[in-house]
Amino acid sequence: MNENGIEARHLDFGGRRVLVTGAAGGLGSRMARAFHAHGAEVVLADLDRERLAPLAAEIGGAERHAFDQADAASVEALARAADPVDVLLNNAGILHVGPFLEMDAEAIERLIATNLTGPVLLARAVARGMVGRGSGVIVNTASQIAFTGGPERAIYGTAKAGLVQFTRAAAAELGPHGVRVAALAPGRTPTPLTEAALADPDYLAESLARIPAGRLGDAGEMARLALFLASPLADYVVGETLIADGGYILA
């Protein structure tokens, strides 16, 4: 293979420890399977440890941890338990659909804590070890909504937009220490998190009408993009957010 070709080693995660948060969900579970298939030692984390049991068994008895991303102490405990982490797939999140005028302060705070503050705290905790070793990759899961807004998703979109900005700033700060940070922003993709919204025929029709690709996303292809972003193939992708939405934001 010449210097311009892709070799198997570029997607070989053998000997690398990969922490996947939100691993019981649609995107997280597909990410875990993809990295396991490429040799990684996968560590699973989600709010409910027991929900991870079938996936852990499927991929060879993977290590699994319960944590609450909205709780700072729980985030720190996960980072200690999972250490050392070579790749962090900072994927856990929650979705709320509804007018923000009708949300109480507690709901708003939990949405921001889970989708922005928690990922930032976990990235900070994991990055300490990465900086000490002089290497590591963090891939944050953002959202197409961070770039488009949208009614009834104001707080979710705000949190994800903050995660996009954090990706840029953290990449600039950590890059000189050998730690690369990037993000993936999936478009409208069927998962347990989005199934209620996509079950609305009007919402689904509006989505498809705006997507030049003519279809919804697929969790498997999002997992493959995460694999790419974490691999040496993306070594020069620093601080960027890869928007994978079939062209939705072009409309």
Residue 208, SS3 per DSSP? helix
For residue 179, give the 3-state DSSP assignment: strand
* Cβ-based neighbours of 183, under 8 Å, separated by 6 or more: 139, 140, 141, 142, 163, 164, 167, 240, 241, 242
Told to judge if 203 belongs to the known catalytic residues of this protein, a careful annotator would answer no
What tokens does 143 get? 């959202």
**Residue 17 token pair:** 């420890």
Overall size of the chain counted in residues: 251
3-state DSSP call for residue 61?
Answer: coil
Residue 133 to residue 86: CA distance in whole angstroms: 9
Cα distance between residue 244 and residue 182, in whole Å: 14
Q: Write the CA distances from 18 to 14, 111, 113, 141, integer angstroms.
A: 10, 25, 23, 15
Of 156, 203, 236, 248, catalytic: 156
Largest CA distance in the chain: 59
Alpha carbon distance 249, 246 (integer Å): 8
Cα separation, 23 vs 44, whole angstroms: 6
- Catalytic machinery residues: 156
